[in-house]
Amino acid sequence: MQVLPRRRLLVLTGLAALLLAPSGGPAGAASAPHADPLQRRVDAIHDTGVVGASAEVTSPGTRAVARAGVAEKGTRKPMPPGGRFRIGSATKTFTATVVLQLVGEGRMSLEDTVERWLPGVVGGDGGPDGSSVTVRQLLQHTSGIPEVLPEIAALGSADGYRAERFRTYTPRELVGLAMRRSGAVPTEAAWSYSNTNYILAAMIIREVTGRSWDREVKDRIIRPLGLSGTSTPGTSPFIPGPHARSYATFGTGTGTGTDVTALNTSMAVGSGAVISTTHDLSRFYTALLGGRLLEPSELAEMTATVSAPGMGVRYGLGLGEIPLSCGGTYFGHPGELLGYRTWAGITRDGARTAVVYATSDGGPDTQQAMRTLVDQELCGDAAPGRRSAASADRASGVLRRPR
């Protein structure tokens, strides 16, 4: 996979950088002793230099939430309960779910070519051709289609952000920008992560249904599951409802950097534009792995994974399969979009979820600390105590209530 500057892959630098981080062990500066393991792990993320961090973990009969840091640098505002944030590439699971629902309805096939639905859109000198790329390859990142993000000025520098944060892109325009980079990745069907794949998937959803990607995600996932904190913003640069602000350094170093909370995310349609909460993401992944959104055959397609060389993981259709330090694997997806980082994971049996997000870039240990939290919470090392630790919860400020 081509290595690009870190700040040029903001919708999901997460998969490369986060997945390559060790999954277990300590991360970040030492935190003060704390009664609750989840709070200690959130504190560890905050200690790596992020402005704020928040996590939610669920297991049968319990729900735990912990927060650290502030919602806005230079203030004492706490991280908001139920705060909303841009989930970055965890959006891809939503998009893949809609595509697989349409497959289950017989309206399209995973073996359909891009050319069938989007004639003339994909093609270029020396690059992949739409007649040889299938929908499956888009969702699996084996299409060989180049990454568009290096062409997005708002994601590349503070000056670019200030100049173009409100710019609207059309999906066809984004694909055209990507295809100018036809020589940037191998053209054979090797695994190579590209957000352009999911922009194309969003375009195909529109062709199949006659309705926008935003509308299909709302009607097929957000509304049926009652995800009241989840939205697809379209071209709006604002995050509705309570939220912490986000900050980015654009690769100039560690720390908090520029306030980048306002952003028109049209460059991430299908690939990284969803806004959600830790609670809603937990409910979404639980419903997905629990068979409430897909029929068994389509869920089997989604969770059938291929090797992602150099990543230490496997990848399905909008889902990563990630090793657990305690043995076995879990499913989920990390994501990042200009100062909002998230990692969502669920055990294969759907019994436990862990979702964490952080604001700002933090430092070199931030990614490892986030992955460590998800890994250790899904391994369940603290689960027994949580069912009888009401006094500890009150002392720590961790919020617990029945799911």
**What are 265-287's pLDDT values in tens digits?**
999 999 999 999 999 999 999 99
**The pLDDT value given to residue 13:** 46
What distance lies between CA 328 and its chain's CA centroid?
22
What are the backbone dihedrals phi and psi of residue 101, each rounded to the nearest 5 degrees, phi first? -65, -45
Q: Is the pLDDT of residue 112 over 90?
A: yes
**Token code pair at residue 71:** 């919602």
In angstroms, the CA 190 to CA 397 distance is: 47
- The model's pLDDT over 323-335, given as tens digits with 9 standing for 90+, comes to 999 999 999 999 9
Three-state secondary-structure class, residue 76: coil
In angstroms, the CA 269 to CA 174 distance is: 10
CATH 3.40.710.10 for the 6-400 domain, yes or no: yes
Identity of the amino acid at 303: T
| Residues noted as catalytic | 89
CA distances in angstroms from 393 to 37, 284, 335, 383, listed in the order given: 11, 26, 29, 13
**The pLDDT value given to residue 363:** 85
Question: Which of 356, 385, 392, 387 lies closest to 56, judged by CA?
Answer: 356
- Mean pLDDT, the chain, rounded, equals 86
Identity of the amino acid at 145: I
Q: Is the pLDDT of residue 53 over 70?
A: yes
**The pLDDT value given to residue 35:** 62
Three-state secondary-structure class, residue 114: helix
Domain coordinates of the chain in residue numbers?
Answer: 6-400
In angstroms, the CA 5 to CA 349 distance is: 37
Largest CA distance in the chain: 66
**The pLDDT value given to residue 390:** 33
Better pLDDT: 68 or 388: 68
What distance lies between CA 59 and its chain's CA centroid?
21
Residue 146: exposure state from Cβ atoms within 10 A (0-12, 13-18, ≥19): buried
**The pLDDT value given to residue 18:** 52
CB 197 within 8 A of CB 171: no
Task: Give the global pTM.
Answer: 0.88
Question: Which pLDDT band holds residue 57 (cuts at 50, 70, 90)?
Answer: very high
Better pLDDT: 304 or 25: 304
Residue 136: exposure state from Cβ atoms within 10 A (0-12, 13-18, ≥19): middle
Three-state secondary-structure class, residue 315: strand
CB 61 within 8 A of CB 402: yes
Over residues 117-144, mean pLDDT: 89
Identity of the amino acid at 239: I
**The pLDDT value given to residue 251:** 81
- Residue in the structure block whose two tokens are 């809603």: 280
Alpha-carbon radius of gyration of the chain: 20
In angstroms, the CA 339 to CA 260 distance is: 7
**Token code pair at residue 117:** 């639905």
**Token code pair at residue 178:** 């990507």
CB 259 within 8 A of CB 245: yes
Taking the CA atoms of 263, 121, 101 and 211 in sequence, report the sign of the dihedral they define.
positive
In angstroms, the CA 196 to CA 268 distance is: 9
Q: Is the pLDDT of residue 402 over 70?
A: no
Three-state secondary-structure class, residue 65: strand
Q: Which residues pair with 134 in a beta bridge?
A: 113
Taking the CA atoms of 199, 361, 327 and 292 in sequence, report the sign of the dihedral they define.
negative
- The model's pLDDT over 290-315, given as tens digits with 9 standing for 90+, comes to 999 999 999 999 999 999 987 789 99
What are the backbone dihedrals phi and psi of residue 207, each rounded to the nearest 5 degrees, phi first? -65, -40
